[in-house]
Amino acid sequence: MALEYKQRESDGSMGEQIKVGNGETPGETIERLEKEKQLLTAQNKALGERMEFMEDLIAEIAIKVYE
């Protein structure tokens, strides 16, 4: 895990955050996981819809075969 710190500027204000070390900060990890969750949710929904389509298709084929 990376650490972050802010260095004080010459005017007394706090500067931008500086990352120290390798890896992700907790904020970066949260952002990455939220994006991954959105992608996985969309993939899960698409697979569910495809499965329903395949089930309907198999049912229609079975009806045609047994007519």
The amino acid present at 67, given as its one-letter code, is: E
pTM exceeds 0.75 for this model:
no
Backbone φ and ψ of 43, nearest 5°: -65, -40
Residue 5, CB half-sphere, CA atoms under 13 Å: how many? 5
What is the distance in angstroms between the CA of the first residue and the CA of the last residue of the chain?
64
In angstroms, rounded to a whole number, what is the distance separating the alpha carbons of residues 63 and 65?
Answer: 6
pLDDT tens-digit readout, 4-61? 777 888 888 888 877 776 777 788 889 999 999 999 999 999 999 999 999 999 999 9
Burial 53-62 (b: 16+ CB within 10 A, else e): eeeeeeeeee
